[in-house]
Amino acid sequence: MPTISIDQAKAEYDVIIVGSGAGGGQMAYTLTLAGIKCCMLEAGRSYDPVTETPMFNRPDQAPLGGASTPDKDMGFWDSTVDGGWEMPDEPYTQASTDKDEQFTWWRARMMGGRTNHWGRISLRNGPYDFKPYSYDGLGFDWPISYEDVAPYYDKVEMLIGVHGTNEGMENTPDSPPGVLQPPPKARIGDLVAQKAGKKVGVPVVSIHRAVLTKRLDADTIPAKLHPGNKWAQDIVAKSMRARAACFWATPCGRGCSIKATYQSTTVHLPPALDTGNLDIIPNAHVREVMVGADGKATGVLFIDKTTGREERVKGKAVVLAASSGETVRILLNSKSNRFPDGIANSSGKVGKYIMDTVAMSLRGQIPALENLPPHNEDGTGGSHVYSPWWAYGDQRQGKLNFARGYHIEIGSTRRMPGGNSPVSMSYLRGLYGTKLKEEARRYYGSFISLASRGEMIPNEHCYAEIDPVVKDKWGVPVVRWHWKWTENEINMVMHGQETFAEMIDQMGGTVVGKLAKSGYDLIRPGGNVKHEVGGARMGDDPTDSVCNKWSQTWDVQNLYLCDASSFTSNPDKNPTLTIMAMAWRCADRIIAESAKGNV
């Protein structure tokens, strides 16, 4: 990926973009194709999936058979080349020693951020999700509606390529005809789960994922995305023609050298660079947003990790898209006489109401899937089906002891064995020789995993602040996390366990392991799903929110927040698609204001 050093930077840019993932990548794409000069700062190193993706490496070619390690939590071949849960040079701290009140923070630290290893699940927020308080009296409403964002969902789906089907389900929006790509067929285990789901009233339908099942129509889509801009259309068409359809063979988490999956590094950044309007500076650890005497942002101060020196880059506007936790850190560390509590924080809401996805999982062993003949069911590298939340009616009737809902991600594929046994050891313990091989073949592929991904209600106990003592390697104060689940989330995961156990029973299977007696033993730790959102929410009232409906901070008119930090709620839908849609919407606003001379 072409990059520059700080000594090659321009004296001033139109827009400085901090972060190169979903929000930053989308922002760079939209702005540069409109002729706006941008400089992107990435805290990690440059990375190019086309040349660095180990798509065809077998697990046995990796140390420990490719199994997870503390440095490689998702396996040796995972595309994350830097970062992780713990980074010695950039620590974070916890306000509590209670493990149930701690937040685990994942940072990618590479070009493209988390878009390189994410699950590619691309679900639209529904009408209820933008107005949750109006729906059930909990949390906060967004200052926008689904109708405001729908056109941008359309454009993002056409650009990145999303497969799936329209099912017409409540609060699960359909896409316009012709936008979605054809879905892959359900795997054998998926069909078993679908049959069981019908018996217990749980729908199992095609999931929406950002993987190309056919090549993009480069002859017609660019004109829909950039009407009236032939120059931009030609650049986007070239980029689309460089992407191949998935050949259904390797895990998406390794990255995709043929560009079949969406990654910022293969979809957003190449056309942005081709415009000649984007400079990228890697290894740029941002400390703060600089402010002028007029109260407007003038640029960004960062540490060049290659030299350890403080550097500055100037811009007429600044976009923070560094991920929620990172954006909060930058805002709170950007102190001045005008902003003693951190930039854009006159409301005192920066860092408040952090949310993550509510998650638990259960595995079942299904005898009907034993001793299946060998067959390839790798598919598109992730789930082919899922269950959207189905129980809105039960909630309205007061039958459930929690608000909102969860979707179910279903896993049933025979993944290539690596350093860990693909068969639970409780089925193989004490065996050796011929009997071990026979039982391994019998059980391999007979397991189904059901995982819930649910909505957390924002609460005042979940927030991030600056640690008053601890600093990172470069002297930058670090984040201290506060976290607390509520009974709403605990009740939700217990409902998930009950539902999953019932589905597994209807499959004729048995649950692997013991059922949890408490939701606290079942729920994944805060941050563990890597879906942290919030911390600088948008709203209609500048005294009670950080930015307005355009993701523009109330206090600094040329400072925009275009990751999930501005999210007001965290629906059960994975946040990446909404991050991109909101960033495109914000970019259009910047373009319009720039044309008026307001940027």
What count of Cα atoms within 13 Å lies in the side-chain half-sphere of residue 459?
16
Mean pLDDT, to the nearest integer, of 186-194? Answer: 96
The reported pLDDT for the residue numbered 568 is: 98
Query: Which tens digits make up the pLDDT trace of 378-406?
Result: 889 899 999 999 999 999 999 999 999 99
**Identity of residue 241:** R
CB 562 within 8 A of CB 321: yes
pLDDT at 420 over 80: no
Q: Tell me the C-alpha distance between 363 and 28, whole Å.
A: 41
Band of pLDDT at residue 228, cut at 50, 70 and 90: very high
pTM: 0.97
Q: What is the mean pLDDT of residues 163-186?
A: 97
Q: Find out whether 279 and 42 touch, Cβ atoms under 8 Å.
A: no
Distances (CA, A) of 292 to 228, 295, 298, 481: 37, 5, 6, 30
The answer on pLDDT for 418 being more than 80 is no
What percent of the chain shows pLDDT beyond 90? 89
pLDDT (tens digit per residue) in 9-21: 999 999 999 999 9
Under a CB-based contact definition with an 8 Å cutoff, are residues 366 and 508 in contact?
yes
85-98 tens-digit pLDDT = 999 999 999 999 99
Q: Coil, strand, or helix at residue 172?
A: strand
59 pLDDT above the threshold of 80: yes
Quote the CA–CA distance of 97 and 386 in Å, as a whole number.
36
* Distances in whole angstroms, Cα of residue 107 to Cα of each of 72, 80, 89, 92, 298: 12, 9, 12, 11, 27
Domain 6-54+77-595, second-level architecture: 3-Layer(bba) Sandwich (3.50)
Answer yes or no: is pLDDT of 416 > 80: no
pLDDT of residue 378: 84
Sheet with strand 463-471: strands edge to edge: 93-94, 477-482, 463-471
Q: Report the distance separating Cα 510 and Cα 515, nearest Å.
A: 11
Torsion of CA 408, 414, 418, 421, to 10 degrees: 80
Which one, of 237, 122, 139, 136, lies nearest residue 180 by Cα?
122
For residue 109, give both structure tokens: 């630290």
pLDDT at 74: 85
Q: What is the pLDDT of residues 487-545, one digit of tens each?
A: 999 999 999 999 999 999 999 999 999 999 999 999 999 999 999 999 999 999 999 99
3-state secondary structure 280-334: EECCEEEEEEEECCCCCEEEEEEEECCCCCEEEEEEEEEEECCCHHHHHHHHHHC
37 neighbors 10 (Cβ within 8 angstroms): yes
Terminal-to-terminal C-alpha distance of the chain: 29
Opening angle at CA 379, ends 426 and 187, nearest 5: 60
419 has pLDDT over 90: no
